[in-house]
Amino acid sequence: MEQRRFYITTPIYYPSDKLHIGHTYCTVATDAMARYKRLAGYEVMFLTGTDEHGQKIEDKARDAGVSPKQFVDNIVTGERGILDLWKLMNISNDRFIRTTDDYHVAAIQKIFKKMYDKGDIYKGTYKGKYCKPCESFWTESQLADGKCPDCGREVQDAEEEAYFFKLSKYADRVQHLLEDTDFLEPRSRVNEMVNNFIKPGLEDLCVSRTSFTWGVPVDFDPGHVVYVWVDALFNYTTALGLYNDKYQDYDKFWPADVHFVGKEIVRFHSIIWPAMLMSMDMPLPRKVFGHGWLLLDGGKMSKSKGNVVDPYILAEMFGVDALRFFLLRTFPFGSDGSFSNEALIQTTNVDLANDLGNLLSRTVSMVGKYFGGTLPAGCGPSEEDLHLAELSARPDCIGITVEPGDVACDVELVALAAGLRDRYEEQMEHFAFQNALAEIFKVIDRANKYIDENAPWVLAKDMEANSPRLAHVMYNLLETLRVCAILLTPFIPQSAAEVLRQIGACERGSTWESAAAWGTLPETVAVQRGENLFPRIDADKALKELEEIAQAARRAALPDLEIEPQLEEKVDFDTFCKSDFRAVKVKDCQPVKKSDKLLKFTLDDGTGVDRQILSGIARWYKPEDLIGKTLMAIVNLPPRKMMGQESQGMLISAVHTEKGEEALNLLILDDKIPAGAKMC
Ligand code: MSP
């Protein structure tokens, strides 16, 4: 039989900054899909990588004082960089492409030349608008209120000699592709593309730049570099071996089965990409799926917002599987979703700790307690169970009826669990991860209810009479856990493997085929108790910890040092001279009762009479550290009362802000200066 193949990609990421949880979302979804297809017996190619050229990277590298290559290397391969992140998140990509890889650069030059030779790329003058952060060209009519329609930022005028791709030539074919085939999903995105971009008239696309150098050079016209999106989109084919000898998988895997992409880059993937492939006479990918965004407080994610969006921190706090699970369980893949730490904790506690975790630990510990860890022979599925399971696994099965003599809850559980794989497959084939997981959790919920209905602890009171029934109940629970764990593997690979290990499922009982074969576990299966898979998270404690981390991040983003600007308004000299600044020696210093701000100073001001000054500096100084010091005070201010005590002047200090925190330093003078010395 011919091996079934599946080629899936994520967008290749810009290494202009560290990745956040929104970026992780798409890669985790792609990973779940790739693992699902492998489980179902496909030979899978899962590609991800980094998109390393462009003006934004060149500018950022300059600001950081390093070369563009050093800059991207640090974010891609450096500590806690992109490669480390995918390793941590247990991403099973088969290949990783960097657009700065030599083989890719050389292939892009050949591709550009081929479209040029064909007459689809020609030289002209570019006049228009350019959004630097998005690396996107826009025509006047595409701007939104004069700003970039993607990010809302200012655009710049741009005019230079440039090469153009004849996008307009392919408008009709692309429109047909979008409207009359299932090329782009979800369907709502088709209308957006056709109405906003194709119907107003597709203009030719500027595909080279001369104003910066960090890109793939156009080898037949020095000074031009290839537009970063042309360079980036073809990664999906160069990584298979198109126009290079590094890989030999082009014929095997192209066209791609699906490109997963975020909604803002659907335009590039559903209009520009197919048009360029048409120009190259190459087959088109079978599908582009534009997923939604994870939003934070209703808007885009950014580090400056309060919530912690660093996937490293979240994975380390809650576990990699909990994070992977949350992303795909909570948000419908095609729509936007609101990310919050509260929801992450809630989902982990409810689904993983309570429902799945408890089902596993209760089942395994009861098999241990009542049967010494090994079920007795004869507890497996009855003829009726097997018949029922077979019926349930058939997609045309229309409901199960309970025959007299059947145990109703057995019938329900077996029917639900045995038919799960088909229902799950149906959802996975449509990239409906949330629904696929919902199907699994319906079965897990039913199994938890099944425990309560059967009350094994009551059956166990009379083992002699009830042992066969109790063993059968346990067997059904283990089988249910087995089916669920197999189907959870793409989402929570490590934890699902641990479930299978604890219930004693061997390799044969962990396959895709066996997920639809009720009764695969041997009757005398031996369970292995293990650690609690998903310990409950203390929400208050975790949220407090995250808030502290977020605060520290906000502080770190603040300027190191802030000093108040100097006053514009002038003071005349005579007025200034009226202020009497004197050296004062601290004879005593005490905290003021009921005030966490004030310190009370007894000072020698050289007059022979003690002077009392109250100063709000308790946050920065311990009273005992100041005794004996020589300070500066202004002594001719009118006395005023603070916390019921008189203050006869003011101590002089320097203030500034450091990382958002107010800092204060008293002016401490040389001890040689006598008390009362006038400052001028
Ligand atoms: N380099 C381009 C892709 C080129 S593909 C030939 C790019 N890179 S990116 O790093 O800016 O974004 C990568 C992906 O992350 C995009 O699909 C984008 O939609 C996705 N996300 C970025 N922020 C996101 C969220 N907050 N939520 C979900 N996905 C998000 O675009």
Dump pLDDT digits (tens) for 160-187.
899 999 999 999 999 999 999 999 999 9
Q: Provide the CATH number for the domain around residue 645.
A: 2.40.50.140
**Ligand 1 pocket test target in 12, 23, 231, 336 with most atoms within 8 Å of CB:** 23
- pLDDT range class, residue 397, cuts 50, 70, 90: very low
Spatial CA neighbour of 91 closest among 493, 506, 432 = 493
Residue 206 in domain = no
Same domain, 510 and 586: no
pLDDT at residue 219 is higher than 90: yes
Average pLDDT over every residue of 455-471: 94
pLDDT at 386: 80
Query: Between 299 and 620, where is the model more confident?
Result: 620
Of the listed ranges 97-101, 111-115, 407-411, 472-476, the one predicted with least confidence: 407-411
Cα 546 versus chain centre, distance: 16
Same domain, 378 and 504: yes
pLDDT at 403: 59
Same domain, 498 and 584: no
State the Cα–Cα distance between residues 291 and 217, nearest whole angstrom.
Answer: 33
State the Cα–Cα distance between residues 341 and 382, nearest whole angstrom.
Answer: 46
Question: How many angstroms separate the alpha carbon of residue 533 from the centre of ligand 1?
Answer: 32
Residue 180 in domain = no
**Ligand 1 pocket test target in 16, 52, 265, 433 with most atoms within 8 Å of CB:** 265
**Ligand 1 pocket test target in 13, 86, 148, 270 with most atoms within 8 Å of CB:** 13
Residue 369 in domain = yes
Pocket, ligand 1, Cβ cutoff 6 A: 11-14, 22-23, 25-26, 51, 232-233, 235, 261-262, 264-265, 293-294, 301
User: Angle between the 433-454 and 358-371 helix axes, to the nearest 10 degrees?
Assistant: 40
pLDDT at 661: 82
Residue 30 in domain = yes
**Ligand 1 pocket test target in 10, 21, 26, 231 with most atoms within 8 Å of CB:** 26
Question: How many angstroms separate the alpha carbon of residue 23 from the centre of ligand 1?
Answer: 6
Which atom of ligand 1 is nearest the CA belonging to 260?
A: 17
CA dihedral angle for residue 327, residue 328, residue 331, residue 332, rounded to 10 degrees: 150
Token duo for residue 439: 């199907």
Element holding 130 (H helix, E strand):
strand 121-131
Question: How many angstroms separate the alpha carbon of residue 32 from the centre of ligand 1?
Answer: 18
Which atom of ligand 1 is nearest the CA belonging to 262?
A: 19
Residue 308 in domain = no
Distant-in-sequence, close-in-space partners of 644: CB < 8 Å, separation ≥ 6:
none
Q: Look at residues 100, 115, 140 and tell me which one is the last residue of a structural domain.
A: 100
Same domain, 496 and 355: yes
Question: Mean pLDDT, the chain, as a whole number?
Answer: 93
Q: Look at residues 44, 76, 100 and tell me which one is the last residue of a structural domain.
A: 100
Residue 171 in domain = no
Which atom of ligand 1 is nearest the CA belonging to 235?
A: 6
> 457, 315 in Cβ contact below 8 A?
no
Q: Look at residues 475, 494, 516 and tell me which one is the last residue of a structural domain.
A: 516
Give 186-202 pLDDT, tens digit per residue.
Answer: 999 999 999 999 999 99
Amino acid identity, residue 156?
Q
pTM recorded for the entire structure:
0.83
Question: How many angstroms separate the alpha carbon of residue 229 from the centre of ligand 1?
Answer: 13
Question: How many angstroms separate the alpha carbon of residue 27 from the centre of ligand 1?
Answer: 10
Same domain, 506 and 626: no
Question: How many angstroms separate the alpha carbon of residue 262 from the centre of ligand 1?
Answer: 6
pLDDT at 258: 98
pLDDT at residue 389 is higher than 90: no
Same domain, 477 and 600: no
Same domain, 376 and 504: yes
Residue 71 in domain = yes
> 336, 291 in Cβ contact below 8 A?
no
Spatial CA neighbour of 324 closest among 641, 28, 679 = 28
pLDDT at 451: 96
**Which range of residues forms the domain containing residue 41?**
5-100
How many alpha carbons fall within 13 Å on the CB side of residue 423?
21
Q: Provide the CATH number for the domain around residue 36.
A: 3.40.50.620
Same domain, 464 and 583: no
Spatial CA neighbour of 675 closest among 609, 614, 584 = 584
- pLDDT range class, residue 129, cuts 50, 70, 90: confident
Which atom of ligand 1 is nearest the CA belonging to 233?
A: 6
Which atom of ligand 1 is nearest the CA belonging to 13?
A: 10
Q: Whose CA is nearest to atom 17 of ligand 1?
A: 262
State the Cα–Cα distance between residues 11 and 22, nearest whole angstrom.
Answer: 13
Same domain, 511 and 589: no
Q: Provide the CATH number for the domain around residue 430.
A: 1.10.730.10
Q: Whose CA is nearest to atom 13 of ligand 1?
A: 13
Spatial CA neighbour of 209 closest among 49, 60, 56 = 56
Average pLDDT over every residue of 285-296: 96
Residue 175 in domain = no
pLDDT at 563: 85
pLDDT at 398: 44
Asked if the peptide bond before residue 186 counts as cis, ω within 30 degrees of 0, the response is yes
Same domain, 500 and 591: no
Parallel, antiparallel or unpaired: strands 661-666 and 653-658: antiparallel
Q: DSSP assignment of 565-597, as one string?
A: PPPSS---HHHHHTS-EEEEEEEEEEEPTT-SS
Cα 653 versus chain centre, distance: 46
Same domain, 483 and 356: yes
Q: Whose CA is nearest to atom 10 of ligand 1?
A: 13
pLDDT at residue 442 is higher than 50: yes
pLDDT at 2: 66
Number of domains in the chain: 3
